[in-house]
Amino acid sequence: MSWYAMMILQDKEREIDKIISYLDYHASFTNYEGVKMAKEFRESQKEEVVKEAGEFIEEAKRNDFKNNPLIEAIKKIRESSRITEDSDSALKSINLNKLIREDI
């Protein structure tokens, strides 16, 4: 089932790329420089995502995220105050995964 889901996702991505290519082609007649800048921006965003994913994988391999004192302190505070899913505490809203990715 996961393979089918992945294939459907890839088909949708190809369809989106095809539509973007058509739009780029038609827009290039009126504003070539704008289309060129938009393509460069999209490519830079893809490169950034790949770079971030690679950095996260390397950190996970080294287990660097396990020794972060800020994350450990937040976990201890959460455990000590017994924050539940229903509470509106400010500590509950802290995204630990985001802290790990941003290397805080």
Q: How far apart are CA 83 and CA 92, in angstroms?
A: 7
Q: Is this prediction's pTM over 0.85?
A: no
Q: What are the pLDDT digits (tens) for 25-74?
A: 999 999 999 999 998 988 888 888 888 888 777 777 777 666 677 777 77
Sorted by where each begins, the domain ranges of the chain are 1-62, 63-104
Q: List, in sequence order, the alpha helices (H) in 2-68.
A: 2-27, 32-62
